[in-house]
Structure 1
Amino acid sequence: MRVVIQKVTEASVSVEGEIIGGIGTGFMLLVGIGKEDTEEDVDYMVRKVSNLRVFEDAEGRMNLSLKDVNGAILSISQFTLLANTKKGNRPSFIEAADPEAGEAYYQLFNQKMCALGYRVETGKFGAHMDVRLNNSGPVTILIDSKNK
């Protein structure tokens, strides 16, 4: 499982020109599920994302978590995070989960983040989405559950 975390001051997602999700301060997450991922990977990501301290404290140090700043999450499914570009110029996505498993683990991840008390907005699984964000910092972090 791979998640790209972007610290944002605002972010939104649209499908066919209609905004279907949006947040203010928080994390915009791009969530990629691999074919070998399990619920253990989901739990690992939930722990990492919820405890990541990248928001500034009173001294300007990245020392506060999403919970500390009462932040929200915009979670976007993105199988292309599992792209393999080793050969040629056209990426291969054979390491990505099939759509049924990918959606199940993506939804489980979002449910577990909600269970921790976060407001979670989402895109539409499998749809062509337009994502807009104001990356604060900029802070962008990639976490891969296979690189613990």
Structure 2
Amino acid sequence: MKRSGMTMTEVVVAMGVLATVIIAYLSVSRTASSSASQSRNYALATIVAQNVIAEISAHQYGEPRPDAWLDISPFLVVEGRESQVKFKLAIEPDTESGGNGSFFGASAANVDVLNVRVSWREPLPSGGGSREQDISFRLTVRRENGVY
């Protein structure tokens, strides 16, 4: 006579498979959340960089750099919660590429090369601590024609 139901071995194997699937799902879910946050920060940093280019284009050649350029904190709501990343800007003459500081009034030259760096801090994927991320680019500016 056959008994209906599952044996203890079948139950243990099924629970082992289920536990493995749950652990894999939780790992992938955590990685996906971290990747989404990193992608969002890079996208925001790119927008900040585009705004900096617009500010530099509007800036009078030879005038001092405004302090308002250096700290930017865009307001963003993600999944109903405020997510505020503080971006730091470094806009300096790129002396290795011929920068001389004339854009901000340090010399009388007609051409300057700027190194623009946008940086921010984001949590490590492991959950402990944070790391600094950045994007940077060079801009050539001319007294008579603007940004190139």
Same-fold status (TM-score > 0.5): no
Compare the two structures and name the one with the higher helix fraction.
2
Compare the two structures and name the one with the higher strand fraction.
1
Larger radius of gyration: 2
